Structure 1
Amino acid sequence: MSRAPGPGFRPTHVVPRGGTPAWESPDPARPTVPLDPLLPVELVERRGDWGYIRCSNGWAAWVDSRRLVAVPDDPPAVDGTGGTSDPLPLLAHAEQALADYRTAVRELADGVLDGEGFEERTRGLRLGIVVDGESMWLYDPGESRWVYGDGRRLTTYATDRAVTGDDGTGQAPTRLVAPESER
């Protein structure tokens, strides 16, 4: 299956809970930076088990497409009956996390922090936001989930919470969850 990239980023998959390796080309000898857990990606092309993905910032790589977790074709419907929470507190948390990261980068550049101090200061810091017009996908680190928002309310889109059953990897698989209105 091959799909030409559209004019904007539309996530079709998320990276599994444990993250995943990435490659510059469909060749295991050319590794690049691994992808973070639950990162939304757009699967642009498949070649056997290889998948060419694009991230919201335009960065692209090849991955083992069998590890990607498909997301619904369309964001969850938010019709007034299924929204789960107000997006403002989560946006405020994202703003604070970005400000904390920005401060650490500035202190590293100014020599106030060394590499070890920077690593310590940013350890555990997680932030993810994709905005596409009125649609927003936001990572909620407190709940280990991606949520979809329409500006008024948020609905769970994907989560890495533990589920029953073990696939032999020692990790709980990522699972998609239906919006509250569909449960």
Structure 2
Amino acid sequence: MTTPGFRPTHVVPQQGMPAWEAPDPARTTVALDPLLPVQLVERRGDWAHVLCANGWSAWVDGRLLVAVPQDPPATGGPQARTPDPRPLLARAEQSLARYRAAVEDLAGGGLDGESFRGRTRGLRIGVVVDGESVWLYDTEQGRWVYGDGARLSTYATDDGPRPAAVDPGHAPTQVVTPDGP
């Protein structure tokens, strides 16, 4: 369930990050997952209050958030290459199905905690759907992509800029951090 009006402004760093119930180091809560899209709601010094797509909010060290462009990449103009979003959606569905099966086995008593961790180790999925817009985490390429239903464009990457020669047909991408590109 996505909170109405949710639009990611930042992404959690690739190593994940601790979170707090309030801007108070003594009030720790569940850590945020790596590369989770969040919306910055408020800043208090180095503290940042963020909203997640499911409506959950927390306080984090705002200096560590990875900023994403305010607007998704323009997809209306001609592009040299138009990736089809369906294969990435299929991979996301498969990962979710594998996770769901492991949860069912754990809940049904067929798995213990260690076996559950073993079955889910390495699974990673990231999907935010907002009407016609979708943000998907591409685990094979280590990047978030934005889609309008017909094509995908890179939104943020785990790595720095890639030369265009490495991936013909795509403009170089880069991660924007609080310190700049």
Deviation at 1:89, TM superposition (A): 0.3
Partner residue in 1 for 2:17: 20
Calculate the TM-score normalised by the size of structure 2: 0.84
1:26 and 1:83, CA in 2 relative to 1: closer, same or farther beyond 3 A? Answer: farther
- Alignment pair present for 1:175 and 2:175: yes
Deviation at 1:19, TM superposition (A): 1.4
Whole-angstrom distance in 2 between the partners of 1:83 and 1:77: 14
- Give the AA of the match of 2:24: D
Q: CA RMSD in A?
A: 1.8
Q: Is the contact between residue 53 and residue 128 of structure 2 (CA under 8 Å) also seen in structure 1?
A: yes
Question: Percent identity over the alignment?
Answer: 68
* Structure 2 unaligned residues grouped into runs of 5+: 163-173, 177-181
Whole-angstrom distance in 2 between the partners of 1:62 and 1:82: 41
Partner of 2:41: helix, strand, or coil? strand
Whole-angstrom distance in 2 between the partners of 1:31 and 1:82: 47
Whole-angstrom distance in 2 between the partners of 1:163 and 1:17: 16
1:91 and 1:41, CA in 2 relative to 1: closer, same or farther beyond 3 A? Answer: same
Deviation at 1:36, TM superposition (A): 1.5
- Alignment pair present for 1:160 and 2:158: yes
Superposed CA offset, 1:55-109 (max 9, x none):
0011110001111111111111012316641100000001111111110000001
Please identify runs of 4+ aligned residues in structure 1 that moved more than 4 A. none
Whole-angstrom distance in 2 between the partners of 1:82 and 1:21: 40
Partner residue in 2 for 1:93: 91
Partner of 1:22: helix, strand, or coil? strand
Deviation at 1:161, TM superposition (A): 2.2
Residue of structure 1 aligned with 2:126, choices 122, 125, 128: 128
Q: Is the contact between residue 87 and residue 154 of structure 1 (CA under 8 Å) also seen in structure 2?
A: yes
Partner residue in 1 for 2:135: 137
Whole-angstrom distance in 2 between the partners of 1:159 and 1:50: 24
1:84 and 1:36, CA in 2 relative to 1: closer, same or farther beyond 3 A? Answer: farther
Q: Is the contact between residue 146 and residue 152 of structure 2 (CA under 8 Å) also seen in structure 1?
A: yes
Whole-angstrom distance in 2 between the partners of 1:84 and 1:40: 23
Whole-angstrom distance in 2 between the partners of 1:163 and 1:134: 28
Whole-angstrom distance in 1 between the partners of 2:82 and 2:141: 13
1:74 and 1:162, CA in 2 relative to 1: closer, same or farther beyond 3 A? Answer: closer
* Structure 1 unaligned residues grouped into runs of 5+: 1-5, 165-173, 177-183
Partner of 1:158: helix, strand, or coil? strand
Calculate the TM-score normalised by the size of structure 1: 0.83
Q: Is the contact between residue 68 and residue 175 of structure 2 (CA under 8 Å) also seen in structure 1?
A: no
Q: Is the contact between residue 127 and residue 136 of structure 2 (CA under 8 Å) also seen in structure 1?
A: yes
Partner of 1:95: helix, strand, or coil? helix
